[in-house]
Amino acid sequence: MALNVALLKDSFERAKRENGGITSLGMSFYKRLFEKYPSVKPLFSKPPEVQHKMLMSALATIVAQADQSDKLLPYLHALGIRHLLYKTENAHYSAVAENLLAVLREHLSKEGEWTDAMQDSWTAAIALIVKVMMEASNNPAAFTEELANHGYGPDGLLIQKCGVSTNGRPEVS
Ligand code: HEM
């Protein structure tokens, strides 16, 4: 189904303003994830205080590019392939997807309404994100050329101008 990009953008803007803003949303994500799915916790080396900024920044990029598949797809392919470095498995994606939808719903229900249309839009968006990331992580070699064309190495890390993969992550707007 086509994404309701306007609704995604509008509700993400609300998420930034409401209920303690993006920090509260991001921290809730990790709190709930580790409570409900404790088996994934050992995969994370960085504390939630650091991790949530990267996740929320990625979400902001995804929402901003939701109607620009020429940018969004390579970004998500690289992100999916980088997750191989973090030992992420296919089975983990349903937990993260369930968790992300649940915290968005809870966050946006505090000061305003979480509508059926928002539920449908975010469900579809998260399913798409997960599908595209998993497609790439299940067959990284098929994406090497696309990644190179967008400045990423075969491991999904950004190539710096000196030609070396960065240990850090891509800059996100
Ligand atoms: C909705 C799908 C997901 C998104 C948007 C997402 C986003 C991110 C982002 C932006 C980072 C920062 C590093 C980077 O950019 O490479 C990251 C790191 C990480 N993600 Fe994900 N992720 C997703 C799914 C998952 C899943 C399913 C797992 C498995 C439990 C996972 C586990 C991790 C781990 C372990 C790290 C590294 C953390 C660390 O170094 O402490 N992610 N993720």
Q: Where are the domains of the chain?
A: 5-149
> Global pTM?
0.94
- At 84-123, the pLDDT tens digits run 999 999 999 999 999 999 999 999 999 999 999 999 999 9
- Band of residue 3 on the pLDDT scale cut at 50, 70, 90: confident
Our measurement of the distance from residue 172's CA atom to the centroid of its chain's CA atoms, rounded to an integer in Å, reads 12
- Band of residue 170 on the pLDDT scale cut at 50, 70, 90: low
Could you tell me if the CB of 45 is within 6 A of ligand 1?
Answer: yes
Could you tell me if the CB of 83 is within 6 A of ligand 1?
Answer: yes
pLDDT recorded at residue 75: 98
- At 61-80, the pLDDT tens digits run 999 999 999 999 999 999 99
- Above 50 in pLDDT, residue 154? yes
Smallest Cα–Cα separation from 76: which of 91, 92, 63, 87? 63
- Above 50 in pLDDT, residue 172? no
Ligand 1 center to 119 CA (angstroms): 22
CB 136 within 8 A of CB 143: yes
- At 29-53, the pLDDT tens digits run 999 999 999 999 999 999 999 999 9
Could you tell me if the CB of 52 is within 6 A of ligand 1?
Answer: no
Ligand 1 center to 6 CA (angstroms): 25
Smallest Cα–Cα separation from 15: which of 46, 47, 59, 75? 59
Residue owning the nearest CA to atom 15 of ligand 1: 169
Which top CATH class is 5-149? mainly alpha
